[in-house]
Structure 1
Amino acid sequence: MGIPEGVAKPEEQRLGPVLRRRDQVQPGTTDQRLLDTEGDSEWVHTDPWRVMRIQSEFVEGFGALAELPSAISVFGSARTKPDSPEYEAGVRIGRALVDAGFAVITGGGPGAMEAANKGAREAKGVSVGLGIELPFEQGLNAHVDIGVNFRYFFVRKMMFVKYAQGFVVLPGGLGTLDELFEALTLVQTRKITRFPIVLFGTEYWKGLVDWLRDSVVAGGKAAEHDLLLFHVTDDVEEAVALVTKETGK
């Protein structure tokens, strides 16, 4: 049902806060399109509808995590093997963070994320997993006590930052690097209050740190003091001490 036959199409139309004129005028009213039982279902794939889905993800995330105690986000590769030294380090880090009074937040997947969640659970702390919808479904690991799955990376990334007082970054791939540089950028630009970022594994991170110093800083693309935005260590106790010191716990 649109404009009745014989009635001229209006030159101006107001649909809530939206003004449409001339060829952009739509037939019918907003209520009419809502209440019609027949019609195109393509609207569920439009950008305005996606905004509602995005909003719902923020609401669900905020609701699930609002009452968390002080927490540290731990990042690392989903491909880390359970029998590797990196996995064992993740378990020890998760356990030590709980002993220091923190909840542990990870991406909820396998590998290094599972290791940190496992350590947190074994220490009887709060073990959180923030999953993401991917073509190759991973699911949340068995050591997650509070899990939230997200459609959108940017919503998930906000939760990692909003509900954490610091980051511990184990060896990882592109996703780990994405989270690391997101945090470094937010701290560098003072979009968030400074919080500790600890890179665990000096041998793994050495090439990146050298490149930042010898190419990025040396080339004038960053300041020397930006290298102070993070710490590098191989020691679990030192990693936990660094986040504890800078968070004031």
Structure 2
Amino acid sequence: MRTIGLIGGMSWESSAEYYRLINQRVRDQLGPLRSAQVLMYSVDFGPVEQAQHAGRWDDAALILEDAARRLQAGGADCVVLCTNTMHLVAPRIEAAVSIPFLHIADATATAALEAGTLTVGLLGTAFTMEQDFLKSRLAAQGLTVLVPDADERKAVHRIIYEELCVGVISDASRQVYQRVIQTLAARGAQAIILGCTEICLLIQPEHSALPLLDTTALHAQAAVGFALQGTGIATTFLAAT
């Protein structure tokens, strides 16, 4: 089994989900007492968040490049960045190491295409919804990506940083997301990408009229697929979680 290297802490709430999902899937594949070989470097989210909102992406990239190098030095066989937003600097992280970098958009696009979904609604931070680093990679693989309008993006972003990243789960906020999902469905979305690794803490399949593409679960699944490659254990993508 290969060793999965996780860059976590952004936020640790969702990083804990990665650890749980990866180990559950390995147990399901290999047996009840089996677990994944994992290294996690969990960064302090405070300086990263400050750099994000100040537009100091180079500063944030330096933190994550260092984390990736530490994982490689510790014996990781791949790097998994446990956040959508910081994939904005994915090329920097990928260039900092010689081991594979498993991109979150690739796992998501694979699941969407296998489900026959070509038009998706994207929920995430304002950075993810408004900039092209994730949308363009999804589009390059054949997907049409819809995002909420400006007021909806502001609400989705606020709930992520003020609530989900600090473990606050609110029914009122869930209703906000449900209204946004309904609007995206009316515009033609066939499924919704939960494009922030904390959104799965708030929105589950029973809360959405559309199928969900949970980037946290799909990314974790891709990591397990990489770890078990060559072991003779079959792994497949799930279109919705």
TM range (shorter): 0.3 to 0.5
TM-score, with length taken from structure 2? 0.32
Which of 1 and 2 has higher RCO (CA within 8 Å, sep 6+)?
A: 2
**Larger proportion of helix:** 2
